Structure 1
Amino acid sequence: MPLAHLDRPFDYLVPDRLDDDVTPGCRVRVRFAGKVVDGYVLERVEESAHPGRLAYLDRVVSSEPVLPPATAALARAVADRYAGMLVDVLRLAIPPRHARAEAEPPRDPAPVPERPAALGWDRYPRGRIFLDAVHAGRPAHAVWQALPGEDWPRRLAEAAATAAAAGRGAVVVVPDHRDLARVHAACVELVGADDVVALSADLGPAERYRRWLAVLRGSARVVVGTRATAFAPVADPGLLVVWDDGDDLHAEQRSPYAHARDVLAQRAHLSGAALLVAGFARTAEAQLLVDSHWAHEIVAPRDAVRAAAPRVTAIGEDDTQLARDPAARAARLPSVAFEAARGALSAGAPVLVQVPRRGYVPGLACASCREPARCRRCAGPLALPGPAGGRGEAARPAACRWCGATEAAFRCPSCGSRRLRATAIGARRTAEELGRAFPGVAVRTSGAGEVLATVPAQPALVVATPGAEPVAEDGYGAALLLDGRVLLARPDLRAAEEALRRWLTAAALVRPAGRGGRVVVVAESGLTPVQALVRWDPAWHAAAELAGRTELGFPPAVRMATVDGSPAAVADLVDGARLPESAEILGPVPLGEVDEEGVAERERVLVRVPRPDGRALAAALAEAQAVRTARKEAEAVRVRLDPLDML
């Protein structure tokens, strides 16, 4: 039941007519509080400890055991970790039923594949040791740092095939559908199409349920998919993998807001499976796994890193660069970036241009006082939606990004000026400017409207937003990472970590320095994330990031909860929670606008505890939520544990 105070099992009698159909894990219908509702059978027992009178099951929806004991235990552990409810986790773990797909006969299990050679893992001193542990069924935990230019879908497929060769299952979780397609193709090549299932949210209900049932029934051993795949009911899992765990797509946007990395870590603990946290970058959470000796790191020697990495140039790294271009620090595209692009294009290679923002001019401000330009109707930010329609036409007027209203006669409420200036340049405007700067060179864009999967090995400028960078057939000749100040200046605890992750993902697509590959990052060379990119040392940056958060008392060094809601509701929940003695309450702080009396309609409170008290914090907040729902409080309060956007 979707009420916190009812988040527990209930006992029902099984009538004789349903005795053969009721199995643990099946779907049933029961009468609850005068209504017939859906439920799952957790287990069958001879007697009930409930002293009162029990009702009978109404009917069996399906005898298919869609909730096996391992999935039920994992869902309960995830709900307890995030102060959530079991029903919310089961909604993520079990797709809606499709009767026609369920009625189809199950496929025979695919034959056990042979163990692949996996020679690519020999570039990493501990790579072969990890694969041997996976094949032997040992619960190995590792954090893998992929080399620049690594064929990481192939490496993950080799690890999954190693587990399948031992007769065990493998679960590989990736951020988006493009990564899913690459990893799925690599797995099919190694273990065959019958032994691999791809799961994602964009599948239709019938096909998604059909593939999920193939995993449940043991027809396939290897499962590849996006974040919900972390719950895939693989029998006897031998390997659990999450690629690029710093990507925010791994964080569930619905209650209880679980992260795929943490779900897989819980599953590895419960099942004894091996866990691999992999990526070009490394998060502070992954570094904590290494520092706590729960996981070992798989990294290549420094000489191998230097041989595989492109040459990285930052702004102001030497006096010669600034002498040639004194305005490099203020320029959006300094001369060193133009030189790198021209060199790559003349060599016949494409050039990747990464722009943090999509759109044309997504940010505007008053040209006189620099006050952000906002809509008169809804106070939303103003932006330029696109260029003029043609030669001689006036530029399109600014429009609100929230309500879409056109603002043809802007007047600054602070100083009265009518002039606007751009505070941010989007991918479309960047492509337009580069087309004028490099006449005769094809300019392609990859972003929200159209995401390219690959680009050919021919001269072209490819403008892409983070996460939408296409793969070049023979690698990019150069990559220009623009607007570094925008990424690093975000009011976010993870701004530096996220900037480095985006830079490394783009730079990993560039050819090695030995083949002329160059990366220009338009950011000050003295900044820590820029130095980590220049040295290609994400582990060093992750260690520094974790040390800084430990000193300041931020996750993952501590467990922290955010409590959002109206001031009265937040105060009621926090005051009524039996928090651990170590709990420290920070706030409240207003969220959004305040009313005429200066009172915020919504506010946020942070509750911080040491990591050993994290379970007690989650239990206390869940109990407080249960008390509020039992009292039928009208105002809802949102509780999140260790969210990505707590600041």
Structure 2
Amino acid sequence: MTEEDGGQLALVRAKVRRAPKPSQAPAPELPIARVAVDVSLAHLDRPFDYVVPARMHEACVPGCRVRVRFAGQDLDGYVLERVAESDHRGRLMPLRRVVSSEPVLAPEVARLARLVADRYAGTFADVVRLAVPPRHARVEGEPATEPTPPVGAAPATDLTEPAGPWQEYDTGPSFVDALRRGDAPRAVWSALPGEDWPRCLAHAAAATLAAGRGVLLVVPDHRDVARVDQACAELLGPDRHVVLTAELGPAERYRRFLAVRRGAVRCVVGTRAAAFAPVADLGLVACWDDGDDLHAEPRAPYPHVREVLLLRAHEGRCAALVGGFAVTAEGARLLATGWAHPLAASRSRVRTEAPRVFVAGESDLELARDPAARAVRLPHRAFEAARAALAAGPVLVQVPRAGYLPALACQTCRGPARCGACSGPLQLGAAGQPPACGWCGRPAVAWRCPTCHGTTLRAPVVGARRTAEELGRAFPRVPVRTSGGTRVLDTVGPEPALVVATPGAEPVAEGGYAAALILDTWLALARADLRAGEEALRRWFNAAGLVRSAGDGGAVVVMGDPGIPAIQALVRWSPVAQAERELAERQVAGFPPAVRLATLEGPSDAVTDLAELTQLPEEAEVLGPVPLGDDEEAGVRLVVRVPRAGGTRLASALKAAQGVRSARKAAGAVRVDIDPVVLG
């Protein structure tokens, strides 16, 4: 290189250094974007202001995805709104880029996410991750579909019966009429035995769509989704609803999400992943079988579908329907406070549609004939009921899952073993240690059963496979089918068969089951959970609801103590009365939903630190901490409960304390769960 060439190169480099950077002039209108940055730290749970460059003015719309500079790194975020001025007095950084101009975060969903985060002491970023699926660029580029016409114009919609299946309920016709007018009725629905509940939900959706409003139907699992999907397709016609579940592939899930967000479809059916679906002009939210633990989100901040939908109904002034064969204590509280009204059939109608329910060994005469009726797994009465019913169709046999092993029972009467001090469930101890209480931890020394005075404990191990083998030997000429675990049947035919199923995996029988046997009820009630009775009754009602009516010969035989309130409620088919009783007991004991309760779980030092930083309300009561296991690494649990009126203050205090710990970068993660589903 010559000296002249070197001089020219130096001149070029100098010009490059002096060249102005690309223009960062702000947008001509509303130059400030309020961005929710994808950060889960509690002390940063607020929107941040950024300057919108002029070149991004058109693409940066509220609800779109953006990339911003935050704490020395590029992070994702959502634009919540565009404003003219910022409250921040310092220098604002510009947006790095607009990832997509698609407004995926609807304003109403953003407000809902904020409410859910505040209610569960979580962060906005964690809730939005549940609400908005990951982006799929190729799907965004596909042409948008046109919105469907009003449902009233659909030829498949049957509007000849104004109330349809709801006319079987006392307030059903008025509920449907209110939906057609675009009103916002709220109801707790106690479904009739044997009810075709997917058709009821589809009819309620049709009435809401006829009023020009949107619908959101949430059910526990994919089997229920398939049934509601079919019912909606038959009643509403094709392409008038969409299914949203987490099991869909990323492309298909995002495609359906965009169809809902763009207003092409206004009826959504799905599992808990659909609870935040951006349905336009939402007119009805419905939750079927709200007691199912599949409705509880396992990721922070652990929201429950029922609570999310009730928040949507309250904020959006839309109708709400919480239904099931059973009624939860939360449903009973909605009725007690007047927030919702009962939607149930008359007692005479219930008696007509319900199967006959028997309890093995319920009378002295039966015990005289079969002294072991309350102790053996398959007493004589159950055997005879199954044999008689097999001549008319399939027989359902419900057995508890094999996951209830830690709870112990009496070897003689099989009743649940309880602690003599606090009535908590007795559980297996460590190697070489005696059984101990799962609540207070006291060892069970010289235990004696209060019912039969037996002194021997047993650890039950009973599953569907073993039960199927036993029934196969008892009924050698009858086919035995199992449903549960990794192999779940959706339907069975009307031909005679023994169907052994675990709770939640019962297949639907064509024409209904001729009979049902509910085995090992004591095992379900022995769960180390304060919701054990409610959960057991819910599972029994769901199984009995698949059986034909008593007029068609349907019968249910329950193996258990006839004096247990949950079994009495099943015999009478009175879910609302039992839910009211459960609510009253929880009010006395001080457990949700009568109070607001928060559990703090984690390392001992971290839980103690968080508890000391929390400015609890004066009426708060602190229980614990107690160890979660024998190993110190298992951590501890601390429980805080307050009256329901102080629930908002409790959540705010916990959120503020978590913000202090995250700002300090304190060691040890603490799980905060408000109104947990499991209270064991």
TM above 0.5, one fold?
Answer: yes
Quick one: distance in 2 between partners of 1:150 and 1:366? 38
1:589 equivalenced with 2:626 (yes/no)? yes
Quick one: distance in 2 between partners of 1:364 and 1:141? 42
Q: Which amino acid aligns with 1:197?
A: V
Gaps of 5+ in 2: 1-38, 418-425, 436-456
* 1:316 Cα offset (Å): 2.8
* SS of aligned partner of 1:561: strand
Q: Which residue of 2 aligns with 1:329?
A: 374
Query: What is the alpha-carbon root mean square deviation over aligned residues?
Result: 2.2
Deviations along 1:335-360, whole A, 9 cap, x unmatched?
A: 1110110010123x100000102499
Deviations along 1:477-528, whole A, 9 cap, x unmatched?
A: 1100000000111121100000100000000000111111110111111110
Quick one: distance in 2 between partners of 1:497 and 1:362? 19
Q: Which residue of 2 aligns with 1:633?
A: 666
Q: Which residue of 1 aligns with 2:474?
A: 437
From 446, 450, 453, the equivalent of 2:483 is 446
Q: Which residue of 2 aligns with 1:608?
A: 641
What percent of counterpart residues are identical?
A: 62
* 1:581 Cα offset (Å): 1.0
Q: Which residue of 2 aligns with 1:424?
A: 461
* 1:188 Cα offset (Å): 1.1
1:515 equivalenced with 2:552 (yes/no)? yes
Contact 2:408-2:526 within 8 A present in 1 as well: no
1:161 equivalenced with 2:206 (yes/no)? yes
From 35, 55, 59, the equivalent of 1:21 is 59
Q: Which residue of 1 aligns with 2:574?
A: 537
Q: Which residue of 1 aligns with 2:32?
A: none
Deviations along 1:564-610, whole A, 9 cap, x unmatched?
A: 11111111111111111111111111101235xxxx74111110101
1:12 equivalenced with 2:50 (yes/no)? yes
Q: Which amino acid aligns with 1:591?
A: L
Structure 2 CA distance for partners of 1:340 and 1:362, relative to 1, 3 Å: farther
Quick one: distance in 1 between partners of 2:410 and 2:73? 58
Structure 2 CA distance for partners of 1:236 and 1:553, relative to 1, 3 Å: same
Contact 1:360-1:428 within 8 A present in 2 as well: no
* 1:193 Cα offset (Å): 2.3
Quick one: distance in 2 between partners of 1:194 and 1:229? 18
Q: Which residue of 1 aligns with 2:399?
A: 355
User: For 1:115-514, what aligned pairs fall within 5 Å after superposition?
Assistant: 116=159, 117=161, 118-347=163-392, 349-358=393-402, 423-514=460-551
Quick one: distance in 2 between partners of 1:95 and 1:27? 12
Structure 2 CA distance for partners of 1:645 and 1:155, relative to 1, 3 Å: same
Gaps of 5+ in 1: 382-419
1:80 equivalenced with 2:118 (yes/no)? yes
Quick one: distance in 1 between partners of 2:81 and 2:290? 35
Q: Which residue of 1 aligns with 2:68?
A: 30
* 1:422 Cα offset (Å): 6.3
Contact 1:307-1:513 within 8 A present in 2 as well: yes
* SS of aligned partner of 2:597: strand
1:559 equivalenced with 2:604 (yes/no)? no
Structure 2 CA distance for partners of 1:373 and 1:250, relative to 1, 3 Å: closer
* 1:30 Cα offset (Å): 0.3
Quick one: distance in 2 between partners of 1:272 and 1:366? 52
Quick one: distance in 2 between partners of 1:40 and 1:325? 68
Contact 2:164-2:203 within 8 A present in 1 as well: no
The normalised TM-score by structure 1 is 0.90
Q: Which residue of 1 aligns with 2:447?
A: none
Quick one: distance in 2 between partners of 1:198 and 1:546? 34
Contact 1:79-1:85 within 8 A present in 2 as well: yes
User: For 1:90-101, what aligned pairs fall within 5 Å after superposition?
Assistant: 90-101=128-139
* SS of aligned partner of 2:80: coil
Quick one: distance in 2 between partners of 1:269 and 1:198? 24
* 1:53 Cα offset (Å): 0.7
* SS of aligned partner of 1:44: strand
* 1:44 Cα offset (Å): 0.2
Quick one: distance in 1 between partners of 2:458 and 2:482? 24
Deviations along 1:261-306, whole A, 9 cap, x unmatched?
A: 0000000011011000010000000100000000000010000000
Contact 2:606-2:667 within 8 A present in 1 as well: no
Contact 2:285-2:321 within 8 A present in 1 as well: yes
Q: Which residue of 2 aligns with 1:622?
A: 655
Runs of 4+ in 1 over 3 A off after TM superposition: 358-368, 370-377
Q: Which amino acid aligns with 2:394?
A: P
* 1:471 Cα offset (Å): 0.4
Largest Rg, 1 or 2:
2
Q: Which residue of 1 aligns with 2:438?
A: none
Q: Which amino acid aligns with 1:627?
A: V
Quick one: distance in 2 between partners of 1:216 and 1:188? 21
* 1:323 Cα offset (Å): 1.4
Quick one: distance in 2 between partners of 1:139 and 1:555? 27
Contact 2:150-2:212 within 8 A present in 1 as well: yes
Deviations along 1:208-259, whole A, 9 cap, x unmatched?
A: 0000111001111110000121100000000000000000000000001000
Of 125-134 and 21-30, the range deviating more from structure 2:
125-134
1:642 equivalenced with 2:675 (yes/no)? yes
* SS of aligned partner of 1:23: coil
Contact 1:362-1:426 within 8 A present in 2 as well: no
1:107 equivalenced with 2:145 (yes/no)? yes
Structure 2 CA distance for partners of 1:361 and 1:57, relative to 1, 3 Å: closer
* 1:375 Cα offset (Å): 10
The normalised TM-score by structure 2 is 0.86
* 1:315 Cα offset (Å): 2.8
Deviations along 1:444-478, whole A, 9 cap, x unmatched?
A: 00001211011000110000000000000011011
* SS of aligned partner of 1:501: helix
Quick one: distance in 2 between partners of 1:361 and 1:431? 19
Contact 2:62-2:79 within 8 A present in 1 as well: yes
